[in-house]
Amino acid sequence: MKYIIVIEKRAKKFIQKQPADQIKRILAALACLPHQGDIKPLKGTPDVFRLRVGDYRILYRVEHEILTVIVIDAGNRGQIYK
């Protein structure tokens, strides 16, 4: 099944500020969601997962009923969890 990927404004803004090669890496990783990649559930928040792409972390949740992945936020490893 193919999932639709929705990127919220905050995450989109971060991704657009990155160099072109990093944007390609991030978008390629997002295209594999929700089943592939370095994925772990986020502690303390049910239904939210993190995807690791190099030094970047992408937070997202999956709506299985409507086959949608919602990218909540993206950022550098040290700043994304604050």
Tell me the whole-structure pTM to 2 decimals.
0.91
Burial class (CB in 10 A: 0-12, 13-18, 19+), 41: exposed
Q: Does domain 7-76 correspond to CATH entry 3.30.2310.20?
A: yes
Structure tokens at 69: 């992945």
**Rounded CA separation 4/7 (Å):** 10
- Report pLDDT digits (tens) over 44-74: 888 999 999 999 999 999 999 999 999 999 9
**Stronger pLDDT, 44 or 82, i.e. the higher one:** 44
